[in-house]
Amino acid sequence: MRTTLPVAVAFLSGLIMVVGFFMNPEKTFFGNVEEEVLQWVTIVGGFTLLLGVVSIVRVNSRVVSQKRKDWIYNLATLISVFAMAIPAIMPISSDSNFGSIFYSIFPESWSFLFGTGTYSIYDWLFNYMDSPMMATMFAMLAFYIASAAYRAFRARNAEATLLLLTAVLVMLWRIPMGEAFLRIFSDSLPGYINTYVMSGVNVAVQRGIIIGAALGAASMSLRILLGIERTYMGKG
């Protein structure tokens, strides 16, 4: 039963989505069922987010309680989770029962600090801690990207040389100084790069990758529908 039931649910859900895609939801039964299944997907997704938060708290709490190596970082993770979550779900209005109890303990003038509105604790943490840390992370990634580009753009053969020349043209086209340099040779050269490289070759390659990914997704979906792929149940 532990194996048959999940496979049956996956098969029926996938079959409803596939058949309902080709049906008119206003005239057919499967069309309406597809919309219901999509709503259930949203509900299940919400519970999986909650499950993820619980899992993060449990794993990091265990590391902190046992004081394993670098446990201070796990403690910082726990503090960050609660600091972002608790003020965001606190009541911002005294109309509700919980809100009246809450503001009987704390001044109601503090209401702007709770919730997710402007000047709230959540808003302050996001704008002045989370956003700068994300910017720092992406700024550090730029150096790794530059290092990877240096290794990838070595002109070892004809294909690598073509990749190198294309990358140089695109990078020059993306910055004002490079565009000014390209206009020395021809005023229409940046436009040609945009038309033939970015809107031509680049789009063609992207579409090829998307088609390949779509075929892979369709193949994996078919394996799940037929019960061949069972890794989502923790089995091979």
pLDDT tens digits along 92-117: 665 666 667 776 776 766 677 777 77
**Cα distance between residue 14 and residue 224, in whole Å:** 9
Q: 68-77 long-range contacts, Cβ below 8 Å, gap at least 24? A: none
Instruction: Measure the CA–CA gap between 119 and 117, rounded to whole angstroms.
Output: 6
Is residue 212's pLDDT more than 80?
A: yes
Q: What are the extents of the domains in the chain? A: 1-89, 94-142, 153-227
pTM beyond cutoff 0.85: no
Within 8 A by CB and 6+ apart from 30, the residues are 16, 19, 20, 23
List pLDDT tens digits, range 143-174. Answer: 888 788 777 777 778 887 887 888 887 777 77
Two tokens at 184? 């020395």
Q: Degrees (nearest 5) of the Cα angle 35, 36, 39?
A: 90
Mean pLDDT across the stretch 37-59?
A: 88
Is 32's pLDDT higher than 80?
no
